[in-house]
């Protein structure tokens, strides 16, 4: 029998190899993939470039819920998150502001963090209405401003300044159309974001997504805000 043991050994190696080697190869390839996402999580956040220039938030001046004028300069030196919403919005805004609340809970006590929530329905959303809304949300941060003003200026800022679509559409619930995006702005007023696996900036975070780092939701935004606060 001993004379044939090498044949048995050869067969065992063969069967083992054919079953196991492809799994090892697949595992190694998947490990590479995981590493690239980890890498993008560790890399500094990208600037959003438009025509070769890093996109900066344009100048704006609006009125906040305390009837104070707030401009982009008030946010200089602060990392801030921008959203477009309206107080009577029945659909996505409640989810967006629940997520925004998570950001406030995490960073709301810091002077170098802020939130800018622009209303896209300034006719109804007067400073008084915004004040009520903020109180309902238990907003405590000194730097979370709910901003209202001239409707054209707001839509210009949304569509040209941030490229976040906002428009009047009586056909949709609430009468206004907008995207549930959050934009991230650094201390110098530049739009920033993480990059995807191809190295392109994801540009926006999904304000309506609760978590799931993979789908650029609030968990990812929390990480990236922290990165900007701590590293820059």
Residues that bind other proteins (CB under 8 A): 7, 10-11, 14-15, 17-19, 21-22, 25-26, 29
Q: Over the range 106-125, which residues count as b (16 or more CB within 10 Å of their CB) and which as e? A: bbbeeeebbbbbbbbbbeeb
Task: Kindly tell me which of 1 and 171 has the beta carbon lying closer to other proteins.
Answer: 1
Shorter beta-carbon distance to other proteins: residue 1 or 18: 18
Q: Which one, 7 or 171, has the nearer CB to other proteins?
A: 7
Q: How far apart are CA 181 and CA 163, in angstroms?
A: 10
Choose between 21 and 43: whose C-beta lies nearer to other proteins: 21
Are 181 and 207 in contact by the 8 Å Cβ rule? The answer is yes
Write down the least CB distance from residue 7 to other proteins, Å. 6
Kindly state the smallest distance separating residue 9's Cβ from other proteins, in Å: 10
* Helices and strands (H and E) in the chain: how many: 5, 13
Least spacing, CB of residue 34 vs other proteins, in Å: 16
Please compute Rg for the chain using Cα positions.
24
Least distance between other proteins and beta carbon 36 (Å): 16
Instruction: Give the closest residue to 117 by CA, choosing from 186, 58, 104.
Output: 104
Burial of 152 (0-12, 13-18, 19+ CB in 10 A): exposed
Smallest gap from Cβ 14 to other proteins, in A, equals 4
Closest CA to 202 of 188, 178, 181: 181
For other proteins, the closer CB: 26 or 105: 26
C-alpha distances in angstroms, 140 versus 114, 152, 189? 11, 29, 23
């Amino acid at each position: 029998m001993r004379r044939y043991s090498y044949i048995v050994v050869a067969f065992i190696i063969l069967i083992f190899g054919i079953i196991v080697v492809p799994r090892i190869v697949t595992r190694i390839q998947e490990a590479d993939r995981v590493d690239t996402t980890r890498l993008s999580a560790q890399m500094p956040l990208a600037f959003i470039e438009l025509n070769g220039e890093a996109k900066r938030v344009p100048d704006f001046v609006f009125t906040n819920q305390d009837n104070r004028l707030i401009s982009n300069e008030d946010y200089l030196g602060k990392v801030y998150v921008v959203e477009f919403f309206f107080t009577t919005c029945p659909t996505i805004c409640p989810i967006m502001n629940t997520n925004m609340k998570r950001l406030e809970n995490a960073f709301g006590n810091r002077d170098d963090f802020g939130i800018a929530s622009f209303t896209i329905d300034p006719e109804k959303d007067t400073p008084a209405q915004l004040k009520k809304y903020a109180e309902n949300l238990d907003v405590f941060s000194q730097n979370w401003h709910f901003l209202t003003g001239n409707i054209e200026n707001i839509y210009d800022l949304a569509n040209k300044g941030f490229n976040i679509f906002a428009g009047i559409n009586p056909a949709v619930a609430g009468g206004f159309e907008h995207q549930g995006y959050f934009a991230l702005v650094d201390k110098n007023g530049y739009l920033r974001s993480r990059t995807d696996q191809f190295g392109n900036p994801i540009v926006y975070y999904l304000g309506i997504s609760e978590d799931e780092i993979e789908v650029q939701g609030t968990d990812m935004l929390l990480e990236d805000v922290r990165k900007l606060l701590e590293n820059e």
